[in-house]
């Protein structure tokens, strides 16, 4: 993922790759400039006819967002359901195997 300069993410692995970490239970991105506010992944969901959509573009923001449908705390580390010693995986809304689709790279 390309997180250089913030904004929309690139899932095609061009440019500088992002280094992710968890801080106080929230997925964050290492900022080599040492900013106090780390970049956080935001699923930029939009309002739909029946409330918020269930998908959206993956973006990285510092601070907060004015998007009332956007989701910050949707990524978690979940241990293997059969045995936690077998490892863990990054999940989205408690579901593993998430993917990006279409030209907008929506998750």
pLDDT tens for the chain, residues 1 to 107? 434 444 454 455 555 666 788 878 778 887 777 777 778 888 888 888 999 887 888 888 888 888 888 887 778 888 877 887 888 777 877 777 666 665 555 55
- For residue 43, give the 3-state DSSP assignment: strand
Please tell me the distance from the alpha carbon of residue 37 to that of residue 3, in angstroms, as a whole number: 15
The answer to whether position 51 is within a domain reads yes
Length of the chain: 107
Which residue is listed with tokens 């506010």? 37
Whole-model pTM: value is: 0.57
The answer to whether position 104 is within a domain reads no
The answer to whether position 33 is within a domain reads yes
> How many domains is the chain partitioned into structurally?
1
Please tell me the distance from the alpha carbon of residue 74 to that of residue 12, in angstroms, as a whole number: 22
The answer to whether position 25 is within a domain reads yes
Parent domain of 70: 7-92
Q: Would you state the pLDDT for residue 13?
A: 55
């Amino acid at each position: 993922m390309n997180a250089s300069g913030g904004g929309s993410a690139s899932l095609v692995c061009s440019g500088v790759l992002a280094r992710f970490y968890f801080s106080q239970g929230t997925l964050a991105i290492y900022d080599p400039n040492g900013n106090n506010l780390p970049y956080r992944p935001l699923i930029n969901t939009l309002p739909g006819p029946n409330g918020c959509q269930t998908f959206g573009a993956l973006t990285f923001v510092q601070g907060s967002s004015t998007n009332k449908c956007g989701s910050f705390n949707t990524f978690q580390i979940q241990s293997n359901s059969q045995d936690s010693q077998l490892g863990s995986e990054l999940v989205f809304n408690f579901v593993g195997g998430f993917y990006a689709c279409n030209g907008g790279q929506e998750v």
